[in-house]
Amino acid sequence: MPWVLVLPAVLGLAFLVLPLAGLLIRAPWSTLGTRLGEPQVLEALRLSLVTSTLATALCLVLGVPLAWVLARTGFPGRGLVRALVTVPLVLPPVVGGVALLLVLGRRGIVGRWLESAFGVSLPFTTAGVVLAEAFVAMPFLVISVEGALRGADPRYEEAAATLGASRWTIFRRVTLPMVAPGIAAGAILCWARALGEFGATITFAGNFPGRTQTMPLAVYLALETDPEAAIVLSLVLLTVSVVILAALRDRWVSTP
């Protein structure tokens, strides 16, 4: 084997694995149980699970129809719309947070109207966390579902039409079940991204324990005051990541 390739490969692997190993080595295993039971840890964990689940639900409600429109209909400017959908993928999350603040903030274009019409204010609330996470995570879902829809044979939908099914029935009873694995994978990916969201959340929703302080924010804050707590929180997030990887192993890890 040519060492010019093997050496960088081994270094690359070490670079990816060593930090995680370090996390495991430095973890306060003896006090882990009591650490995990601390109220602020539990609170951050609960808030993270709730907001990322709600964000995923929001992404499903809006993203699946968006993916369907992109995959199944032809309209001028579809390429542009797809490009716009993927912008949050490459945009630094903190920029997303700033943009959300400018639009939905108290003096933002939409935010001002929401405040005066409904008395609703989104920034620095739990709902704001959900919005920030959904903003960053939705492209993962849309792209995954659109790919699944493109891979699904549209002739099944034609067969359903000849059996008397309306467009909505076809979508509900044929299209959705056939792309269900793609939707599930997209939702898991979306949820994982929402769980790890930091930049947009802290910018748009701030860092209030119990209300907007999710796990990643808690890790960052704990690093300054209580490094051991940061390690414990990180371990929890690492565990969640490994579980997700295991759940999706058939889709990504196995090579064709």
Partner 1 sequence: MTVLDAHLTVRRRDFRLDLPLTAAAGEVVALLGPNGAGKTTALRALAGLLPLDGGHIRLDGEPIGALPAERRPVGVVFQDYLLFPHLSALENVAFGPRCQGVPRRAARERAAGWLERVGLGEHLAKKPRALSGGQAQRVALARALVTEPRLLLLDEPLAALDAHTRLEIRSALRRHLAGFAGATILVTHDPLDAMVLADRLVVVEQGRMVQEGPPAEVARHPRTDYVARLVGLNLYRGRAHGHTVTLEGDKGPVRFDATEALEGEVFVAFAPSAVALYRTRPDGSPRNRWRARVETIERHGDRIRVGLSGPLPAAADVTPGAVAELGLAEGSEVWAVLKAAETHAYPA
Residues engaged in binding partner 1 (CB under 8 A): 153, 155-156, 158-166, 169, 173-174, 177-178, 180
| Residue 42: both structure tokens together | 């539990």
Nearest CA-CA partner of 70 in 80, 83, 82: 82
Residue 173 beta carbon to partner 1: minimum distance, rounded to whole angstroms: 7
The nearer residue to partner 1, 65 or 181, going by C-beta atoms, is: 181
| Smallest gap from residue 176 Cβ to partner 1 (A) | 10
Q: Decide: residue 168, CB within 10 A, 0-12 exposed, 13-18 middle, 19+ buried.
A: exposed
User: CB-wise, 14 or 163, nearer to partner 1?
Assistant: 163
User: Considering beta carbons, is residue 106 or 173 the nearer one to partner 1?
Assistant: 173
> Which one, 78 or 173, has the nearer CB to partner 1?
173
Nearer to partner 1, 65 or 177 (CB): 177
Q: Kindly tell me which of 177 and 210 has the beta carbon lying closer to partner 1.
A: 177
Closest CA to 218 of 65, 43, 20, 73: 43
For residue 167, the minimal CB distance to partner 1 (Å) is: 8
Which residues, 6+ apart, have CB-to-CB distance to 136 below 8 Å?
88, 93, 96, 193, 194, 197, 200
Q: Which two tokens stand for residue 74?
A: 């032809």
Q: 116-129 b/e with 16+ CB inside 10 Å = b?
A: eeeeeebbbbbbbb
Query: In whole angstroms, how close is the CB of 162 to partner 1 at the nearest point?
Result: 4
Nearest approach, Cβ of 170 to partner 1 (angstroms)?
A: 8
Alpha-carbon distance 206 to 243, whole Å?
28
Nearer to partner 1, 13 or 159 (CB): 159
Using alpha carbons, select from 14, 54, 38, 97 the residue that is nearest to residue 233: 38
d(CA 16, CA 239): 16
Token digits of residue 212: 């907007």
Q: Cα separation of 192 and 204, whole Å?
A: 19
In the chain, the amino acid numbered 224 is E
With contact defined as beta carbons under 8 Å apart, do 87 and 168 qualify?
Answer: no
Least distance (Å) between residue 30 CB and partner 1: 50
In the complex, the smallest distance separating the C-beta of residue 24 from partner 1, rounded to whole angstroms, is 42
